[in-house]
Amino acid sequence: MERVSWQPLALLLLAAAAAVASGTEVGYDGRSMVIDGERRLLISGSIHYPRSTPEMWPDLIRKAKEGGLDAIETYVFWNGHEPRRRQYNFEGSYDIVRFFKEVQDAGMYAILRIGPYICGEWNYGGLPAWLRDISGMQFRMHNNPFEQEMETFTTLIVDKLKEAKMFAGQGGPIILSQIENEYGNVMDKLNNDESASEYIHWCAAMANKQNVGVPWIMCQQDQDVPPNVINTCNGFYCHDWFPKRTDIPKIWTENWTGWFKAWDKPDFHRSAEDIAFSVAMFFQTRGSLQNYYMYHGGTNFGRTSGGPYITTSYDYDAPLDEYGNIRQPKYGHLKDLHNVLKSMEKILLHGDYKDTTMGNTNVMVTKYTLDNSSACFISNKFDDKEVNVTLDDGATHVVPAWSVSILPDCKTVAYNSAKIKTQTSVMVKRPGVETVTDGLAWSWMPENLHPFMTDEKGNFRKNELLEQIATSGDQSDYLWYRTSLEHKGESNYKLHVNTTGHELYAFVNGKLVGRHYAPNGGFVFQMETPVKLHSGKNYISLLSATIGLKNYGALFEMMPAGIVGGPVKLVDTVTNTTAYDLSNSSWSYKAGLAGEYRETHLDKAKDRSQWRGGTIPVHRPFTWYKATFEAPTGEEPVVADLLGLGKGVVWVNGNNLGRYWPSYVAADMDGCRRCDYRGTFMADGDGQKCLTGCNEPSQRFYHVPRSFLKAGEPNTMVLFEEAGGDPTRVSFHTVAVGAACAEAAEVGDEVALACSHGRTISSVDVASLGVTRGKCGAYQGGCESKAALAAFTAACVGKESCTVRHTEDFRAGSGCDSGVLTVQATC
Ligand SMILES: *[C@@H]1O[C@H](CO)[C@@H](O)[C@H](O)[C@H]1NC(C)=O
Ligand SMILES: *[C@@H]1O[C@H](CO)[C@@H](O)[C@H](O)[C@H]1NC(C)=O
Ligand SMILES: *[C@@H]1O[C@H](CO)[C@@H](O)[C@H](O)[C@H]1NC(C)=O
Ligand SMILES: *[C@@H]1O[C@H](CO)[C@@H](O)[C@H](O)[C@H]1NC(C)=O
Ligand SMILES: *[C@@H]1O[C@H](CO)[C@@H](O)[C@H](O)[C@H]1NC(C)=O
Ligand SMILES: CC(=O)N[C@H]1CO[C@H](CO)[C@@H](O)[C@@H]1O
């Protein structure tokens, strides 16, 4: 790329420089990351490659860039890449090199968080279950078996990325890498401080040995920090946190943009105002690199994604929604903030700074000065009152409660975190294919339970009730435990099973007698169900199912699943005493279901004749269903509405969309009844607010990525319905902006409205001044301005987007008192 000069000496110098010139030099000092000799203010966002499809990546990355992000961050998913020991998967959504190349092609930086323990609400925190089979293995402690496997995997990933020249020094996008994850949270709870300390120092040494040419970070490692890594912050807020050393920059690896969702919980929402407040305060207090966790949350496709009880949706209330749509006003409000912060990069990273509290520690002015210029932040942490702050120049600024004002010149407020100028979008689901009004044509086949209803055909026997993860190797959610007993005459009993979860079905002599699951993410539970034994041999078949393995906490990997030790008993119904304790009977084991072995989800030719038509059974447990459908036309994301189904797994054209469980109704929580962005947001306790979906199915809509669908040909959906449900209500929808609303506080402000995916504005419904009642999509209007309505209708109807300036004319003759303009349009 360099144009070579003809001067011999210069030529020599240039040639020497060229060797490095293709690469980017990455370092850091006490203020920030230093890239090619320049301090940089960096804004990053998490997008996890397996939680979307390769076809979605370019669009997600482009939207992130347009949202003002410099970098994309991702974890690396060990159990997805190495599902069986030394059998690797780098295909499709696991094509990590392709993902980083997309980031590079977009001209963005990347942050590589290898872990390989990643937490992430991901099955087993990303660690493969087969690790347990290695003798002497102790997870995340100083021991050879773990360290060897961790090093082998880390080296494999690093080498793969080096080979593709993905590190900054090689000209690639990766500027930072992470080893381990949130170890500081658990390290003193592992019952061996010395081993834990040795381990974390070993991690740092092993990482540094990899020679990646970019710095290594450890997030939330605030104690016992190894000398050659940067410790960083995770959390909803990060203004009170500072790194341990003064020669490292303040980095925020996870600013939670929302929260993940569990089957028993409603939807979490973190307001745009509160996230903006936390980001502004982070940069006010010397922050220099901030990452949104998540910027796009996505979907837990397949069974290895998702942690225990985590829904298939991993939407996270992120700036890009599960389907990749822009979430407004969150996306736009943060983009406006990024633009203002970027304009101040130089002064924030090079300027002198002074923090001044204004009468109360809740109110702080920070003034950055460089040469003759200055920049100011004013933060107001009061959650119940605005404050008037007078700066050095004598000017007074009103700062609303729980907000930060940014004045890039210390004179004019360019941004206030509580004042949203971006449109609010209401996403709507529209029926996908109008022709399918009578529902889909279904066929079905029963899961073949027969082989499991006698104790003949197991993989092996044991006179003991075994732990499930160790027994199944986590190759399936399901494990059969079967035994038999001789009985004289006919009698009634209660079957009592004590299990560590997560779900249990009990059969006696081929008949389903009970179902139970651990509610609310608890694990240990007891099932008691009446049973009748007949004379002679009686078969007891217990099917235990896991719903994602635990991913967090000290020694999470030791947490058992399944009917470990039981007891399993038959209790006399009259005396309430144990008649038979079956815990030490001869149990026969088999992991997985017949349909899993047959790969029924692939709808193979050999199975075609097995599908039955005619009347479709509903509410029948252990049933496979199949239907063909037309893909909705267009580009808008597609979802399947699975309301009416119980619990199971769904595939489209052989692609696993994840576990479904629309029969699980989200809890009623106080957070559904209060929503004020002011005050600390938390995922639990009183910090919970702005929740939606209490008492509703926790997830009824399931994402069907466009790349899983074929246009113009029939598509096949296969369901494995485990608990019993009604598939005839299943339908497909597209998701896009339905209503767009915006507000302009003052005359002169511009109001921009936009639809999505090429859809145009069909009408302007409200253009009013003053307080508007209701919510976007259902505004009832305040004081109508005919002039404003006419102006917006003329400028917007028939357009994908439009911008109109709020003028004095809108108020003239309207009789309205207030000048605040609210507009609502339909897409
Ligand atoms: C700062 O302002 C003074 C007076 O206006 C001017 O003489 C000087 O050159 C300025 N310095 C810089 C670095 O801009
Ligand atoms: C701040 O100043 C405005 C006038 O500029 C006034 O209306 C408001 O009451 C003041 N707020 C407080 C908390 O003093
Ligand atoms: C149930 O099993 C768990 C885990 O093995 C055990 O800790 C607990 O004591 C058992 N409870 C009963 C009531 O047997
Ligand atoms: C039966 O006994 C168990 C403990 O052995 C007790 O928990 C349970 O309440 C008893 N049930 C009845 C109906 O008495
Ligand atoms: C089952 O075997 C274990 C281990 O040998 C023993 O401790 C336990 O008492 C036995 N339980 C029954 C009901 O026999
Ligand atoms: C570093 C940090 O802010 N950690 C916080 C993350 O959020 C949890 C609760 O949501 C807090 O308990 C931590 O203190």
DSSP 333-366: HHHHHHHHHHHTHHHHHHSEEEEEE-SSTTEEEE
Index of the ligand 3 atom closest to the CA of residue 564: 5
532 strand-pairing partners? 492
Q: Identify which ligand lies nearest to the alpha carbon of 569.
A: 5
Selecting among 73, 102, 254, 722, the annotated active-site residue is 254
User: Quick one: average pLDDT of 533-542?
Assistant: 97
Give residue-wise pLDDT tens across range 682-693.
Answer: 988 888 999 999
DSSP character string of 75-104 = E--HHHH-SBTTB---SGGG-HHHHHHHHH
**Residue of the nearest CA to atom 10 in ligand 5?**
584
- The CA R_g of the chain, rounded to the nearest whole Å, is 29
What is residue 125's DSSP assignment? G
CB of 499 within 6 A of ligand 3: the answer is: no
**Residue of the nearest CA to atom 11 in ligand 6?**
235
Task: Compute, in angstroms, the gap from residue 712 CA to the centroid of ligand 5.
Answer: 62
User: Quick one: average pLDDT of 31-54?
Assistant: 98
Q: Identify which ligand lies nearest to the alpha carbon of 498.
A: 3
Give residue-wise pLDDT tens across range 281-312.
Answer: 999 999 999 999 999 999 999 988 877 889 99
- Please tell me which residue, 253 or 167, carries the higher pLDDT value: 167
Cα torsion 672, 673, 679, 682 to 10°: value is -20
Structure tokens that stand for 115 in this block: 């872990």
d(C-alpha 574, C-alpha 582), whole Å: 19
Task: Compute, in angstroms, the gap from residue 408 CA to the centroid of ligand 1.
Answer: 18
Mean pLDDT of the chain: 93
Task: Compute, in angstroms, the gap from residue 385 CA to the centroid of ligand 2.
Answer: 10
Q: Domain 39-343 adopts which CATH fold?
A: TIM Barrel (3.20.20)
**Residue of the nearest CA to atom 7 in ligand 5?**
584
Q: Identify which ligand lies nearest to the alpha carbon of 585.
A: 5
Contact criterion met (CB below 8 Å) for 703 and 637: yes
Task: Compute, in angstroms, the gap from residue 102 CA to the centroid of ligand 5.
Answer: 58
Q: What's the CATH number for 427-447+597-662+697-734? A: 2.60.120.260
**Residue of the nearest CA to atom 12 in ligand 6?**
235
Helices (runs of H) and strands (runs of E) counted in the chain: 13, 42
Reply yes or no on whether the pLDDT at 1 is more than 50.
Answer: no
Contact criterion met (CB below 8 Å) for 769 and 788: yes
pLDDT given for residue 521 in this prediction: 67
> What does pTM read for this prediction?
0.94
Catalytic site residue 182? yes
- Model confidence band, residue 64 (pLDDT cutoffs 50, 70, 90): very high
pLDDT given for residue 519 in this prediction: 80
Reply yes or no on whether the pLDDT at 697 is more than 80.
Answer: yes
Spatial strand order in the sheet of 478-487: 460-462, 587-591, 478-487, 536-545, 503-508, 511-517
Within 6 A (CB) of ligand 2 lie: 386-388, 398
Catalytic site residue 121? no
Question: Which CATH code of 1.10.1740.10, 3.40.1130.10, 2.60.120.260, 3.60.21.10 fits the domain covering 450-590?
Answer: 2.60.120.260
287 strand-pairing partners? 250
CB of 567 within 6 A of ligand 3: the answer is: yes
Give residue-wise pLDDT tens across range 120-160.
Answer: 999 999 999 999 999 999 999 999 999 999 999 999 999 99
Reply yes or no on whether the pLDDT at 15 is more than 50.
Answer: no
Percent of the chain with pLDDT over 70: 96
SS3 519: helix
Index of the ligand 6 atom closest to the CA of residue 233: 1
**Among 385, 377, 378, 257, which Cα is nearest to 327's?**
257
DSSP character string of 389-433 = EE-TTS-EEEE-TTEEEEETTSSS--EETT---SPEEEEEEEES-
Give residue-wise pLDDT tens across range 369-426.
Answer: 999 999 999 999 999 999 999 999 999 999 999 999 999 999 999 999 999 999 999 9
Question: Other C-beta atoms within 10 Å of 183: how many?
Answer: 21
Question: Strand pairing of 731-744 and 638-641?
Answer: antiparallel
Domain 746-826: CATH class, spelled out = mainly beta
Question: Other C-beta atoms within 10 Å of 41: how many?
Answer: 21
d(C-alpha 263, C-alpha 519), whole Å: 9
pLDDT given for residue 434 in this prediction: 52
- Please tell me which residue, 92 or 456, carries the higher pLDDT value: 92
pLDDT given for residue 66 in this prediction: 98
- Model confidence band, residue 2 (pLDDT cutoffs 50, 70, 90): very low
Give residue-wise pLDDT tens across range 777-806.
Answer: 999 877 899 999 999 999 999 999 999 999
Reply yes or no on whether the pLDDT at 438 is more than 70.
Answer: no
Structure tokens that stand for 360 in this block: 């109360």
Index of the ligand 1 atom closest to the CA of residue 371: 13
Reply yes or no on whether the pLDDT at 744 is more than 80.
Answer: yes
d(C-alpha 86, C-alpha 84), whole Å: 6
The residues near 8 (Cβ < 8 Å, ≥ 6 apart) are none
Task: Compute, in angstroms, the gap from residue 585 CA to the centroid of ligand 3.
Answer: 18
pLDDT given for residue 432 in this prediction: 81
Give residue-wise pLDDT tens across range 551-606.
Answer: 988 889 999 999 999 999 999 999 999 999 999 999 999 999 999 999 999 999 99
Index of the ligand 5 atom closest to the CA of residue 584: 1
Index of the ligand 2 atom closest to the CA of residue 385: 13
Q: Identify which ligand lies nearest to the alpha carbon of 359.
A: 2
pLDDT given for residue 6 in this prediction: 33
